[in-house]
Structure 1
Amino acid sequence: MYVMVGFATPCVVRNMAGCERPWHYYLPGMMGGAMVLLEAPGRQLELGLYCFTRAMESWWRTMVKRGHFNNLPHGDVLVFMLSMGTLMTIYQNDKQTIASHYLSVMTRFFGNN
């Protein structure tokens, strides 16, 4: 559903307007975002977190392309290290904040501390 809305809406808007403008892509973004309301409440946060990481990556690449930032060599490794450090700190100190499914996977990999 998300993909269909995301790909079809710009085409429909472009055909209706008879031209292509940058704002034509805001509408599919809003409509695709509204599709999250159709998801189960427990899955909405997961989907939001996934989209947030894609948005951060897109924002970073845009800023590098426009010359606002220099690209960091192996920056993905740095982000991975920070993410794992955060996850392991939460796992060590505050397990009840982790969703049960993720906690069971982490316990399988890292054991009980």
Structure 2
Amino acid sequence: MKSLFKNLNFGALVVLLSVVALTVSWKNHESKRLTFQWFEVSDNGSGNTNKVIDGPYPGGTPGTECQEPEGNMCAVPIDRQSYTGPINTLAHAYQLQTEGKILVGEPVYREEE
């Protein structure tokens, strides 16, 4: 009977430690999730240096006016990670991504005017 209680206590301890380890690993995983923010883009011609990042997209996310597969770029999602400096153009954003400071997602477009 004593061995049954010893095994039960050991089993309960293993289960408790497993739950704690799972909880900690999940919390670390959640903190590493990508947090993309949409930025408004003024498309002033071809080339990434002509695509000026104006700032955060009004309202947070682009609406139906900005969901075309091609045309004038109107918004781009960027995960700033720990970078807090300015991002002026799409070329600058891609340079920062190459340096490992930010992540740039797929841009969206509006119909050409």
Give TM-score scaled by structure 1 length.
0.24
Name the structure where helix makes up a greater proportion of residues: 1
Q: Which one has the bigger strand percentage?
A: 2
TM-score (norm 2): 0.24
* CA radius of gyration, larger in: 2
